[in-house]
C-alpha cells in the first residue's frame, strides 16, 4: 500500500539532519583548537560510531533478558513476522522474546540482514492478532528505514562530546601552545559540554520524528491504522497500571521501545524519545481518513 508522502514531517526531519551535520562540523572545528589533528578527531568519532553499530545492538537484548527463539518455540510469532516481512519486502529478521510483563517491543541490529525484533511476553499476552501485527510492522518499519543506523550516528556525537567533557583533560596534547594549553582545553571542554546538551535534545527530536515515520510505515504494511492505535492505547494503559519499580527497571530502554514507558512528569516533552500517545493516535486517525478516501 502506497501513502502520500508526509512532506511536513519529511522537511522537519531533513531540517534536524542538517542541524546535526552543522553541529558535527562546528564541533570538529572547535576541537581542532584543542587537538593537533582534525583527522584524529574524525577518526575518534568514527570509532565510537562503529563500535556502537557493531556491538550496541547486543546491549538491549541483554538488558531485557531477551533470547533469540526458533519457529518451533514460537511458531505463531515466527509466522507473523515472516508474513509481515514479505509484505514489507524485507529479509526476515531474527526473532527474540524477553520474559517480562511489560508489554513492549523493539528492533535492533546494524543492518537489515542482521536485524532482530524482540517482543516481551507481556506484549504477546495483552494484544490480539491485528494489534500484534501492527506493533511488529512498526518495528519492521524501523528496520526498513534504517533507523538503527541513523540513531547510532546521531548518538555518537553525544557520546563523543560526553567522553571529552569527562576525560578530555587526559588527552590534552598541548595544542594551545605558548602557555595557552589550559585555556584551550577549557574552551574545548566547554564546547563539548554545549554540544553534548544540544545533541541530547536534537537526538530526541529526531527520535520522535522517526517514531511517526515508523507508525506510517506500519500502516503501509498492514493497512490497519486502527489496530496500531488500539495497540498504543492498550500498551499505554497496561504500562500505567504496572508498579513503578518495574517501570524503573526498564526505563533505560525507552529509546528502543515501541512506546515510551516513562509515565512520570519530571521530564518535559522535549526530553521524550517518543511522541505522546494521543499525538500518535491522532496522526493514525488522519491515515485512516486517507485510507477511507482512497
DSSP 87-145: HHT-PPPEEEEE--SS--EEEE-SSTTS-EEEEEHHHHHH--HHHHHHHHHHHHHHHHT
207/91 Cα distance (integer angstroms): 24
What sign does the CA torsion over 60, 63, 69, 74 have?
negative
Which pLDDT score is estimated for 3? 46
Is residue 139 among the annotated active site residues?
Answer: yes
**51 within domain boundaries:** yes
**What's residue 1's pLDDT?**
47
Q: Residue 105: which residues within 8 A CB-CB, separation 6 or more?
A: 117, 118, 119, 120, 123, 135, 136, 138, 139, 257, 258
* 1 in a structural domain: no
Per the structure, the count of domains in the chain is: 1
Residue 24 lies in a domain: yes
Catalytic residue among 73, 125, 139, 249: 139
Q: Tell me, what's the pLDDT at 24?
A: 75
Determine the Cα–Cα distance for residues 200 and 42; give it in Å rounded to an integer: 20
pLDDT of residue 143: 92
Whose CA is closest to 104, among 136, 65, 76, 73? 136
- Whether 166 is in a domain gets the answer yes
Is residue 188, in this structure, part of any structural domain at all? yes
Determine the pLDDT at residue 68.
94
The pTM is what?
A: 0.81
pLDDT, position 247: 75
Distance separating the N- and C-terminal Cα atoms of the chain: 11
Q: How would you write the pLDDT of the chain (294 residues) with one tens digit per residue?
A: 444 455 566 677 677 778 878 887 777 777 776 666 556 666 766 776 677 666 666 778 888 889 999 999 999 999 999 999 999 999 999 999 999 999 999 998 878 888 999 999 999 999 999 999 999 999 999 999 888 877 777 777 777 777 777 665 445 554 444 555 566 677 777 877 888 888 888 888 888 888 999 999 999 999 999 999 999 999 999 988 888 777 777 777 777 888 877 645 555 666 788 898 999 999 999 888 887 766
Q: Which residues constitute the domain of residue 231?
A: 7-293
Residue 2 included in any domain = no
Amino acid at each position: 500500500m502506497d501513502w502520500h508522502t508526509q512532506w511536513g514531517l519529511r522537511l522537519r526531519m531533513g531540517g534536524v539532519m542538517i542541524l546535526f551535520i552543522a553541529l558535527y562540523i562546528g564541533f570538529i572545528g572547535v576541537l581542532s583548537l584543542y587537538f593537533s589533528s582534525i583527522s584524529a578527531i574524525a577518526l575518534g568519532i568514527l570509532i565510537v560510531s562503529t563500535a556502537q553499530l557493531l556491538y550496541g545492538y547486543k546491549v538491549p537484548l541483554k538488558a531485557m533478558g531477551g533470547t533469540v527463539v526458533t519457529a518451533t518455540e514460537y511458531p505463531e510469532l515466527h509466522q507473523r513476522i515472516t508474513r509481515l516481512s514479505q509484505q514489507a519486502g524485507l529479509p526476515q529478521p531474527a526473532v527474540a522474546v524477553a520474559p517480562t510483563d511489560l508489554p513492549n517491543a523493539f528492533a535492533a541490529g546494524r543492518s537489515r540482514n542482521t536485524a532482530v525484533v524482540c517482543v516481551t511476553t507481556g506484549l504477546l499476552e495483552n494484544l490480539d492478532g491485528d494489534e500484534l501485527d501492527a506493533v511488529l510492522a512498526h518495528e519492521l518499519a524501523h528496520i526498513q528505514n534504517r533507523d538503527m543506523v541513523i540513531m547510532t550516528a546521531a548518538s555518537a556525537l553525544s557520546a563523543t562530546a560526553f567522553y571529552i567533557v569527562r576525560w578530555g583533560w587526559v588527552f590534552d596534547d598541548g595544542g594551545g601552545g605558548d602557555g595557552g594549553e589550559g585555556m584551550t582545553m577549557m574552551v574545548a571542554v566547554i564546547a563539548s559540554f554545549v554540544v553534548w546538551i544540544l545533541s541530547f535534545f536534537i537526538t530526541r527530536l529526531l527520535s520522535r520524528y522517526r517514531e511517526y515515520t515508523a507508525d506510517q510505515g506500519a500502516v503501509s504494511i498492514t493497512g490497519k491504522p486502527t489496530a496500531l492505535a488500539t495497540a498504543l492505547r492498550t500498551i499505554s494503559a497496561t504500562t500505567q497500571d504496572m508498579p513503578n519499580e518495574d517501570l524503573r527497571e526498564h526505563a533505560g530502554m525507552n529509546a528502543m521501545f515501541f512506546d515510551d514507558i516513562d509515565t512520570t512528569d519530571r521530564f518535559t516533552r522535549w526530553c521524550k524519545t517518543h511522541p505522546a500517545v494521543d499525538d500518535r493516535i491522532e496522526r493514525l486517525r488522519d491515515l485512516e481518513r486517507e485510507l477511507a478516501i482512497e
